Structure 1
Amino acid sequence: MPIQVVCNNGVVEEADGVPNLIAAHRQAVAMVERLGKRWMGAEGPDATLTGRRLDSVMAEEVIARRRAAAAPVADVVEMKMKAAYFCRLLGNDWCEIDVDDMRALLGSFAKLQA
C-alpha cells in the first residue's frame, strides 16, 4: 500500500496506515484509562501531578483519534475497519467523538477511489 499524505491541523504528515493509527489510538485510550484510575485513588500532591499527566495524555488521545479519523482509506477493507472501530468507540463509550472527528471520518470514506 502506498504511503498517503494526511493533513492534521495544517501540518502535512505521512500516514502510518489505518491499522497502525487505530492501534495508536487504542494505546492512547488505554493510557487514559490507567491514569484515570490512578488519579481517582490519589491524594494530595500525587493527585495534582497525576491530574496534569492525565490532561496531557487526554490531549494525546484526541490527536490520535483525529489522525485515525482523517486518515485516507486505500480500499474497502480499510473503510470497514475504520467504520467498525469508530462504531465500537461510540457503542462502548470509550471516548467522546466530536462533530469534527465524525466529519473527518465520513470525508475519508467519501474520498475512496472506486
Structure 2
Amino acid sequence: MPIQLVCSSDGEPREADGVLDLIAAHRRAISELQCLGKRLMHAGEAEAELIGPRLDAAMKNETIIRRQAAMAPVADVGELKIKAAYFKRLINNGWCDVDADDLHELLRSFAELPT
C-alpha cells in the first residue's frame, strides 16, 4: 500500500502511522468543516466570499482523509473494532456523507485482516 499523507495541526503533510492517526485526522477535518460552516452562516457577504473557497478545500480534504481511513489496513481485531465503531458513528450521527465506495473500501480492509 502506498504511503498515505495526513496533514498535521500546522497544515504540513506527514506520514500516517495507522488507523488511529487517520481517524484522529478525520475528526480534525470534520471539526474544521463545522467551524467554517458556522462562520459562513454568520458571515457578511464579503466575509462569506473569503470563507467559501476555504470551506470547499476543507470538504475536499475531509473526503480524502475519510477514504484513506476506510482503506487503511487493520493490524488486529482491536483496530478493526475501533474502525468499525468510528464509521458506525459517522453513519448514524450524520457527521459526513459516507458513500458506497467508502463502505466498499472499509469492508475490504476488514477482509484483509491478517490471521
- Give the TM interval when normalised to the shorter protein: 0.7 to 0.9
Q: Residue 44 of structure 1: CA displacement?
A: 1.4
Q: Superposition pairs for residues 31-70 of structure 1, below 5 Å?
A: 31-70=32-71
TM superposition outliers: structure 1 runs of 4+ over 6 Å: none
* DSSP 3-state at the match of 1:13: coil
Q: For CA contacts below 8 A with separation 6 or more, give which structure has more relative contact order.
A: 1
Q: Residue 113 of structure 1: CA displacement?
A: 1.6
The CA deviation string for residues 47-86 of structure 1, in whole angstroms up to 9 with x for no partner, is 0110110000010000110010000001000000000000
Q: Residue 42 of structure 1: CA displacement?
A: 0.9
Q: Residue 43 of structure 1: CA displacement?
A: 1.6
Please give the TM-score of this superposition, normalised by the length of structure 2. 0.87
1:13 aligns with 2:14: no
Please give the TM-score of this superposition, normalised by the length of structure 1. 0.88
Extract unaligned runs of 5+ from structure 1: 6-11
Distance in 1 between residues matched to 2:44 and 2:98, nearest whole Å: 30
Distance in 2 between residues matched to 1:54 and 1:25, nearest whole Å: 15
Percent identity of equivalent pairs: 55
Extract unaligned runs of 5+ from structure 2: 5-15
Where does residue 99 of structure 1 map in the other structure?
100
Where does residue 84 of structure 2 map in the other structure?
83
Distance in 1 between residues matched to 2:89 and 2:71, nearest whole Å: 17
Q: Residue 26 of structure 1: CA displacement?
A: 0.2
Number of aligned pairs? 104
